[in-house]
Each structure stands twice: as structure tokens, then as C-alpha cells.
Amino acid sequence: MTVRITKAFAFDAAHYLPNVPPEHKCGRLHGHGYRVVLGLEGPLDPALGWVQDYGDITAAFRPLLERFDHARLNDLPGLENPTAELLAAYIHRELKPVLPLLTDVTVCESPTSTAVYRP
């Protein structure tokens, strides 16, 4: 049996988008209350009854959470243009080696704006 699970995280960070036109509001430094949802999919372990221990997912994301929380995302190598789309791809790239069942990363930068990365 294959099952999909998700684990969500939240952090606050600032950013600006350097490649937008000068008059665009996102070109100014501003902050978001980000929500990240990691999607994992795999076989259900018959003995344990789960796909992956949620504690392992939390431990894998912790270094990124510490890197992102209350930071200016533009200062992080690889996130010089930290759109929600590029942030989702960055998170996937960082976590896939330690979470091989990771299938997608969702980044919500507001209650109404979400980017989903599915390589």
C-alpha cells in the first residue's frame, strides 16, 4: 500500500525580489509568515504502520528552519531571488538527499498565495 503524508512548518522571514520592475511593491524589503508543507509518498511499513516517522521529518527540516526563521532570505546563498517558487525548489533540493520519499514542497507566503514544487 502506498500512502502520502505531509508535515507542515512555519517561520517568519524577510525578503525582496530584486528582478521586479522598480515600482513593484515586492521590490521593497518586506516580510511574510511562511508556511511550508512537505509531501512524502511511499509504502506503508507493515510493522510500524507509517510511511516515515514525523519526528525524522522534523529533524531533517530543523536546519532549514534555523536558517530561514527571522532571516533575510536574499542573504542565503542560492536564494538571492527568493520567490515562493524558488524557495520551494531550494527546500526540495536541500531535503531530498535526507528524505528520499519527498515528492513535493509547498510554500505559502500568505493565506492566499502558494507555490507547489513537484520535480
CATH code for the domain of 72: 3.30.479.10
Residue numbers of the domain that contains 15:
2-117
What mean pLDDT do residues 50-69 have?
98
CA gap 53, 45 in Å, rounded: 10
pLDDT, tens digit (0-9, with 9 covering 90-100), for 18-51: 999 999 999 999 999 999 999 999 999 999 999 9
Angle separating helix axes 54-68 and 84-95, nearest 10 degrees: 130
Residues known to be catalytic:
26, 70, 109
Specify the pTM.
0.96
Number of domains in the chain: 1
The DSSP bridge pattern shows strands 2-15 and 30-43 to be antiparallel
- Position 83 confidence tier, pLDDT thresholds 50, 70, 90: very high
Q: Tell me the pLDDT tens digit for each residue of 85-106.
A: 999 999 999 999 999 999 999 9
